[in-house]
Structure 1
C-alpha cells in the first residue's frame, strides 16, 4: 500500500517535470543568434582570459557565513521545542554552541576574518 503511494508520487513528479519542459519548449521564445552562445552578452568583447583566480579569503568568509547560517537554522527548532525536551535539550544545545564557538575562535586565530 505504501509502495503504491510512493510510486504514484514519483510518477506524478516525473510527469510534471516533463510537462513543464514540453510547455517551455512550445511557448518559450526562440533566438538562434550566434551571439547568444558567447560568454557575455553585454556587447563588449572580452580581453584575456575570462577565468580569473579568486582570493581564498572569499571562500573562507563564505564557509564561515554558512557555518553560522546553519547554526541559526538549527537554533530555531530547538527554541520552539525546548520546553518539551527538558534539561537534556539545554545540554545538547550548549555542546552545539561550544563547538561553534571553538570553530569561530579557530578561524579568528588563523586570520580568516581579516581582509588583507
Structure 2
C-alpha cells in the first residue's frame, strides 16, 4: 500500500525541501531594505494608494449582486448536461429546458424590476 503513495510522498518531500532551501537562500542572499517606511505596509492597488479603511464595510447591494450572480450561474450550469445528451433525452427534455429557461428569465426580470441589480 505504501508503495503506491511513495512517489507522491517523495515529490511532496522534495518540494518542501526545495521551498525551504530557496526561502533560506533568499533571506541570506536577497536585497536588504536600507530603511523601512510606514507606507510599505499599506495596501497598494493599480498604481494608486488605497483609500480603504480597515473598518470599511461593504453595502448590502454588493452581497445581493454577488449572491444573485452565484444563483443564476449555478442554475445555468444545469443546462450543460442536458445540452450534451439532448438527443438521448428527446423532445421532453427540450420542452423542460425551455420551461426552465423561461422561468429563469422571469426570475431575472423580477429581480431586475425590484432594483436588486442597482448599485447604490
TM-score by length of 2: 0.56
How far 1:62 sits from its partner (Å)? 1.7
Alignment coverage as a number of residue pairs: 96
| Alignment correspondent of 2:58 | 54
How far 1:74 sits from its partner (Å)? 2.3
Which protein is bigger by CA-based radius of gyration?
2
Structure 1 Cα separation of the partners of residues 42 and 101 of structure 2: 50
- 4+ long deviations beyond 6 Å: none
Computed over aligned residues only, the root mean square deviation of the Cα atoms, in angstroms, reads: 3.4
Structure 1 Cα separation of the partners of residues 61 and 77 of structure 2: 24
Q: What per-residue deviation string (whole Å, max 9, x for no partner) do you get for residues 46-77 of structure 1?
A: 7x963531122222222222233223322232
| Alignment correspondent of 1:25 | 16
Residue 86, structure 1, aligned to residue 101, structure 2:
no
Structure 2 Cα separation of the partners of residues 105 and 21 of structure 1: 51
Structure 2 Cα separation of the partners of residues 23 and 52 of structure 1: 43
- Secondary structure at 1:43 match in 2: helix
Preserved CA contact (<8 Å) 2:65 2:116: yes
| Alignment correspondent of 1:43 | 40
Moved more, 19-28 or 84-93: 19-28
TM-score by length of 1: 0.57
Structure 1 Cα separation of the partners of residues 97 and 88 of structure 2: 14
